[in-house]
């Protein structure tokens, strides 16, 4: 296994994460057996990057962490999809439990309408 940022290896099976950041005109450089791993929610609402995700996932085998995303991909006609079950192992903990944790709420990713409503409700409570 080799991990490279923004580098494709023509003699290896490439896995692309973050296809919503990739320009569609770069497709000519992407080997046909590349696997797309989608890590973005697409089932909730239509975001500006969904079209770009559909562009890539309609052309390559796709692995997705969300069964709801897989349903959405099927509804828009994208069939070569697989479920990528994400997991956790206790050895991955990096912050000791006795460290004072000063973060009450942490969101990864973009703030959409649903997340904004949650943040607004939390802020209203003080």
Weakest mean pLDDT among 18-22, 46-50, 93-97: 93-97
What sign for the dihedral angle of Cα 19, 22, 24, 27?
negative
Q: Which of 7-11, 33-37, 60-64 has the lowest mean pLDDT?
A: 7-11
3-state SS, the chain, equals CCCCCCCCCCCCCCEEECHHHCCHHHHHHCCCCCEEEECCCCCCCCCCCHHHHHHHHCCCEEEECCHHHHHHHHHCCCCCEEECCCCCCHHHCCCCCCCCCCCCCCCCCCCCHHHHHHHHHHHHCC
User: How is the chain split into domains, by residue range?
Assistant: 15-88+101-124
Whole-prediction pTM: 0.74
Percentage of the chain modeled with pLDDT above 70: 96
Q: What is the mean pLDDT of residues 9-24?
A: 92
When the pLDDT of each residue in the chain is averaged and rounded to a whole number, the result is 88
Note the pLDDT of residue 103.
Answer: 79
Q: Is the pLDDT of residue 95 over 70?
A: no
């Amino acid at each position: 296994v080799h991990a490279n940022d923004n580098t494709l290896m023509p003699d290896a099976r490439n896995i692309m994460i973050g296809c919503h950041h990739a320009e569609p005109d770069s497709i000519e450089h992407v080997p046909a057996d590349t696997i797309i791993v989608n890590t973005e929610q697409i089932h909730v609402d239509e975001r500006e990057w969904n079209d770009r995700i559909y562009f890539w996932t309609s052309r390559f085998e796709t692995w997705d962490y969300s069964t709801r995303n897989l349903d959405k991909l099927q509804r828009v006609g994208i069939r070569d999809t697989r479920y990528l079950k994400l997991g956790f192992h206790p050895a991955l903990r990096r912050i000791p439990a006795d460290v004072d944790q000063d973060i009450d709420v942490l969101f990864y990713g973009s703030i959409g309408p649903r997340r904004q409503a949650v943040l607004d409700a939390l802020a209203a409570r003080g």
